[in-house]
Amino acid sequence: MAELRWVLLALGVMLVAGVYLWGSGLFRRSERIRSSKRRRNEPRIAGDEEPVSDEVLFYAPGTSPEGRAPAAGSVSELDEPDEPDLDDVATGDDVSIVEPEEPRPPPVEKVVALRFVPKTLEIDAVAAVEALEDAGLEHGRYGIFHYHDESFPSEPQFSVASLTEPGSFDLERLDEQPLAGMSFFMILPGAGDPVDRFDAMVETARSLAHRLDAELFDDRGSSWSIQRERYIREELISYRIQSAPQ
């Protein structure tokens, strides 16, 4: 009777243990199913240390679907584009290189002159000096006459010298020095516009030629003409353009 009691007790323990074990396995399988459903329904981001499965919808910046950093040369949508290499830009075909401009040479010195020759043998020196002073010229450096402009008081616009050696006007001995003629000249470059200076010089020479009964000639000894005057003016216009600062 006692043996039967122990046998029934052992069977009861085994039955309880079996039920417990069976219930625990079913519970764990149910939990795995529910966890799998949660992972499929809720997107998540893979971490740096976490293995990546197909269920991950977003990946950490800088990682690929295989769970490692992209290979060299690949571009990720989240990566910022690399800045262009300045050396490559400098040597590109579409980059124009501006060469430094060479300094412009200084303007060439030029002398524009015309001769003032009397129709008779000589010009009265006293009358010539009076006419020059009335035209606004002043006796000055080198003993000759100079025409100044108010805008450029330190440099003459044009000058007048005597054709009698040494070319100067001795104001104290005018009665003793009759003039063979005079030379009107301007030196370039100089202060003021060259064309304006030339026009002022020609106008003054014409006025004095009428007053002193003289004629005008160019620097080659040819009679002064409108054509010659226009030619010299055009040369001075070109000279002005070439000498203009940039």
Length of the chain: 246
d(CA 246, CA 241): 10
State yes or no: pLDDT of 151 exceeds 70.
Answer: yes
Instruction: Give the model's pLDDT for residue 72.
Output: 47
Tokens coding 25: 């396995």
User: What is the layout of strands, in order, in the sheet containing 145-147?
Assistant: 137-139, 145-147, 158-162, 182-188, 110-118, 214-218
Query: Does the global pTM surpass 0.85?
Result: no
Tokens coding 114: 């015309």
Task: Read off the pLDDT band of 12 (50, 70, 90).
Answer: low
Q: At what angle do helices 125-134 and 194-212 cross, to 10 degrees?
A: 140
Task: Read off the pLDDT band of 121 (50, 70, 90).
Answer: confident
The conformational region for residue 197 under phi > 0 = left, psi -120 to 50 = alpha, else beta, is: alpha
Residues 6+ apart with CB under 8 A from 15: none
Tokens coding 161: 């010298």
d(CA 193, CA 80): 62
Instruction: Give the model's pLDDT for residue 216.
Output: 96
For 228-239, what is each residue's pLDDT tens digit? 999 999 999 999
Tell me the chain's radius of gyration from C-alpha atoms.
55
Angle at 219 between CA 202 and CA 203, to 5 degrees: 5
Query: Tokens 């009076």 label which residue?
Result: 130
Query: Tokens 């009335």 label which residue?
Result: 134
d(CA 154, CA 157): 10
For 194-213, what is each residue's pLDDT tens digit? 999 999 999 999 999 999 99
Residues 6+ apart with CB under 8 A from 47: 60
Mean predicted confidence (pLDDT) in 53-65: 45
Residue type for position 136: G
State yes or no: pLDDT of 144 exceeds 80.
Answer: yes
State yes or no: pLDDT of 56 exceeds 80.
Answer: no
For 80-116, what is each residue's pLDDT tens digit? 555 555 555 455 555 555 556 665 666 668 899 999 9
